[in-house]
Amino acid sequence: MAEEKTNVMRLLDQKKVAYVPHQYDVSDGALDGVTAARRLGVAPETCFKTLVTVGTSKKNHVFVIPVEKELDLKAAAKAAGEKSIEMIKQAQLLPLTGYVHGGCSPIGMKKRFPTVIDASAEGLAEMTVSAGKVGRQVTLSPQDLAAFVGAEFAAVAK
């Protein structure tokens, strides 16, 4: 049976961006990124989560960081040109991005937000991010992801 494509995959296909799709079992409710990396057989430092924030300017910013790390709010604010930033409330995620918690991808959000990918990705041959649904991921080049979403690289994880 053919694997069902997510909107993320369709968007990447439209722009002819190379990626490898992945699917893993989430029936036990384990949605954390480290578990996802383990189930996919990829190193946690190459598996990235997507975090959405709001700055003092009330503008939203997206950060893509390794799953085993935390967002350094001071570094993130500096990278975003904000005085300070904070994570958005989980209830705001779906209406703002079109994605649910555990399935948020930097690709294909309802609106394009300024995006920063942690500098640790810049030297990788490939990275894995959410494909826009819980239990679905895509592996692609960090440079392709940055070009696709208009992202910059900066050290924002700790």
| Domains of the chain listed by start with CATH number | 7-154 (3.90.960.10)
The CA angle 3-42-20, to the nearest 5 degrees, is: 35
Does 1 have pLDDT greater than 70?
A: no
Residue 33's pLDDT band, with cuts at 50, 70 and 90, is: confident
The position carrying tokens 């394009």 is 112
Residue 3's pLDDT band, with cuts at 50, 70 and 90, is: low
Please state, in angstroms and rounded to a whole number, the distance separating the CA atoms of residues 49 and 64: 6
Please state, in angstroms and rounded to a whole number, the distance separating the CA atoms of residues 15 and 137: 18
What is the value of pTM for the model shown?
A: 0.95
**How confident is the model at residue 18, as a pLDDT?**
97
Residue 86's pLDDT band, with cuts at 50, 70 and 90, is: very high
In percent, the amount of the chain with pLDDT more than 70 equals 98
